[in-house]
Structure 1
Amino acid sequence: MSAAEPRFKAGEALACQGVGAAPSGGASAPSAGEAETNFFRRRSLSIVGVFLVFLAANAVAGGYVGFDFGAAVADIPAGIVWMAANFVPSAESFGKLGQILSSLASTVLVSIAASCVAAVFAFVFAVLGSRSVGIGGPVSIAVRAVASLFRNIPVVAWAFILLFSFKQSEFTGFFALFLTSFGYLTRCYLESIDEVSGGSVEALRATGASYFSIVAQAVVPMSITSVISWVLYMIETNIRDATLIGILTGTGIGFVFDLYYKSFRYDIAGLVIAMIVIAVIACEAISNYVRRQII
């Protein structure tokens, strides 16, 4: 055997050790299946931990306010039976259907008017406060501050505040819905305008277009779909809120419900609730249809 042959065999053995076997002192890398199993195990443990923290927080809060969760759950069947026995409309209650529909129509119209008027003002303020086409400086800060203030004050709080100035009237409910809608829509329009109009605005500015041309040719066409969608959503929300506002202001369908509820005419109050639910579902269906047509 030549001297080169042992050297060749020794090198082949070393090469086979390096390729086929891991060093005895090191740990082998986990396979893809093991890594995936570890990931799902960690995620499951995290979910369980969050759930336990949630239960503990609820237990502490319930103990602090004296809320008995077990007794509340036990009372649910009795509550359902009572509502089914008292709030089901009777044949006599349908005699008040004309009054209910008239008040409901008034509430729906006030909600639509408040949403649409607020949408116009909100869009103007959003354009002025936008980062892409706004005036900038203190105006942008002021617009965002006003929108946050109006949006974060609940509509019920606005109703209580306005009751001292405008008393119980349709205008009080309209104004409360308007202020809340204005703050909410201004915030939404600010985000929509900043997202969709950046490239178009820069292109028009490069051509020397005026400010109103930029708004008319870039901001409005690019954001009109989002604007309409938010208005429709606001109308749905205001119809629900207007019921509570009517209880406070003594107007609309809220007043009718409060009247019969306090008179222990639960069958008529149940009919009022049914009509409100039907109106909200109908408005939501119309809103979804319009959204599908414009998107």
Structure 2
Amino acid sequence: MKNQVMDSSKFFMRKRLNLSIVIGLMIVLYVGASLILNFNSAAFLYVDRGIIWLAKNFVPNSHSIQYWGIILQALLRTLIVSVAATTVAGVLALGLALAGAKTTGPSQTLSWLIRGFASIMRNIPIVGWAMLLLFSFKQNDFTGFLALLFLSIGFLTRAFMETIEAVDVEKIQALEVTGANYLQVISQAVIPEITTPLVSWLLYMIENNLRDATLVGLLTGTGIGFVFDLYFKSLRYGPAGLVVLAIIVLVIGVKLVSNQVERRIAI
């Protein structure tokens, strides 16, 4: 009993020591970064002033309403680009996932290649894709579409592959024993099992792309991101605040619709 108490005491002392080391390391890193960047830590004392300034300038007023038509049009374009990129990426990702999954793919080598491709595509940040594509396609909606498409292909391919590999192998083997060909196995054993999670992933990606599209718009000069950048740089803070409010409402609305769709398909 005494040995157990001593072991327990040593365990908690070791945990506290590790926690102290981590906290100390974080403090050292913060201080080092502050010195390198010449960051004034005393600025935290004036956060309340920043919040008051935002409340005075960024809250939409009656003057901001005249910009609503332009904001709504840009918001609609952003939504269309997000949905289009996710839809195309979903179709391409499903094909790649079926070819790369261990249960449905033709070879392990191809599976490794597709996994590597998906990892590369999804690990390049959306800003990186947008900046790379700007050199070739300039500032337009198509550049934003491609940036969202490439990132979505990588993310959805990996998600779809894991979903497909979770399907019961016995169902696939049972159809193969009866003489079913590859397409029949996919259409009758795999697709019906993964429809619900696939739709969930697609809806999640639309939400994610909608948020990313705002940032991409700042770089590509399109959509709601460009409108916000234009108003902010021209010191029209009221309309800029209305843009932020519109984005929040749209994201929440898409999330609510996604929840309803997921409930319906889960029944």
Instruction: Quote the residue 1:123 is aligned against.
Output: 94
TM superposition score normalised by structure 2: 0.91
Structure with bigger RCO (C-alpha 8 Å, 6+ apart): 2
Deviations 1:52-97 (A, max 9, x none): 3342222111121116685243232122111111111111011100
Deviations 1:32-51 (A, max 9, x none): xx88xx86x77865664554
Instruction: Quote the residue 1:59 is aligned against.
Output: 27
- Where structure 2 has 5 or more consecutive residues not aligned to the other structure, the ranges are none
Q: How does 1:1-295 map to 2 (within 5 A)?
A: 48-49=16-17, 51-66=19-34, 70-295=41-266
TM superposition score normalised by structure 1: 0.83
RMSD of the TM alignment (CA)?
2.1
Residues 78 and 51 of structure 1, relative CA distance in 2, 3 Å threshold: farther
Aligned residues: 263
Deviations 1:243-286 (A, max 9, x none): 01011001000110000010011111111000000000111111
- Where structure 1 has 5 or more consecutive residues not aligned to the other structure, the ranges are 1-28
Deviations 1:81-133 (A, max 9, x none): 11111111111011100110110011011100101110010011000001001
> What secondary structure does 1:92 align onto?
helix
User: Match of 2:25, as an amino acid?
Assistant: A
Partners in 1 of 2:99 and 2:168 — Cα distance? 14
Range with greater deviation from structure 2 (214-223 or 197-206):
197-206
User: Match of 2:27, as an amino acid?
Assistant: A
> What secondary structure does 2:166 align onto?
helix
Check the 8 A contact 1:130/1:136 in 2, yes or no: no
Range with greater deviation from structure 2 (203-212 or 176-185):
203-212
Partners in 2 of 1:247 and 1:255 — Cα distance? 5
Residues 181 and 56 of structure 1, relative CA distance in 2, 3 Å threshold: same
Check the 8 A contact 1:150/1:179 in 2, yes or no: yes
Check the 8 A contact 1:132/1:197 in 2, yes or no: no
Range with greater deviation from structure 2 (182-191 or 282-291):
282-291
Residues 195 and 165 of structure 1, relative CA distance in 2, 3 Å threshold: same
User: Match of 2:189, as an amino acid?
Assistant: A
Check the 8 A contact 1:192/1:223 in 2, yes or no: yes
- Bigger Cα Rg: 1
